[in-house]
């Protein structure tokens, strides 16, 4: 098993597998937190719980393929001589940092959306995108956004630091 991980880690497109794994892992963790914080957990049967996690895993798998496309295109177009440069590993770390920060910030946002509307992102979230100025003003008045951004940055820094062996050669 460790031989397989070593091969994937050292492959040019190994970062794609890592990012997909991070996406699915963070999504699963978010799903579990939202599930256990739900007030309706007593009403669910074992079958519906398993169904929601398996269907959620499938949706996360499909969504992760869309999420990794920009990195896939970048790695595909990047010449081999550039890819193997040591400084390029830092560029890959920056890219990984951006994507993981996006995932963590999305999970934090989804938590607060769940707290207010007891549902995952839906059409209400789309309305939030349409009326951005009013919504951002209300959110900044209601929540300490700077602290959540700081936590997301710190957590992302820790994760990327732990995964640096995937990007620096």
Distance, in Å, from the CA atom of 107 to the CA atom of 121, rounded to the nearest integer, reads: 11
CA within 13 Å, CB half, 24: 17
Percentage of the chain surpassing pLDDT 90?
Answer: 47
Q: What is the pLDDT of residue 74?
A: 94
Give the model confidence (pLDDT) of 75-87 as tens digits: 999 998 998 888 9
Instruction: Domain ranges for the chain, please list them.
Output: 2-166
Buried b (16+ CB within 10 A) or exposed e, 121-139: eeeeeeebeeeeeeeeeee
Where is mean pLDDT largest: 1-10, 35-44, 47-56, 91-100?
91-100
The whole-chain average pLDDT of the chain stands at 87
CA-closest candidate to residue 56, choices 28, 78, 90:
28
């Amino acid at each position: 098993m460790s031989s397989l991980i070593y091969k994937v880690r050292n492959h040019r497109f190994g970062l794609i597998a890592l990012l997909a794994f991070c996406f699915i892992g963070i999504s699963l963790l978010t799903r579990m937190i939202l599930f256990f914080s739900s007030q309706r957990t007593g009403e669910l049967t074992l079958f519906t719980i398993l169904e929601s996690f398996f269907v959620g895993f499938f949706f996360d798998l499909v969504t992760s393929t869309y999420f990794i496309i920009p990195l896939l295109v970048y790695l595909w177009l990047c010449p081999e001589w550039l890819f193997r440069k040591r400084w390029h590993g830092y560029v890959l770390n920056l890219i990984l940092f951006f994507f993981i920060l996006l995932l963590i910030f999305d999970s934090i946002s989804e938590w607060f959306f769940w707290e207010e509307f007891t549902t995952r992102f839906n059409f209400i979230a789309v309305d939030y995108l349409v009326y951005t100025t009013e919504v951002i003003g209300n959110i900044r008045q209601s929540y300490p956004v700077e602290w959540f951004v700081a936590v997301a940055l710190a957590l992302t820094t820790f994760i990327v630091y732990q995964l640096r062996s995937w990007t620096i050669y």
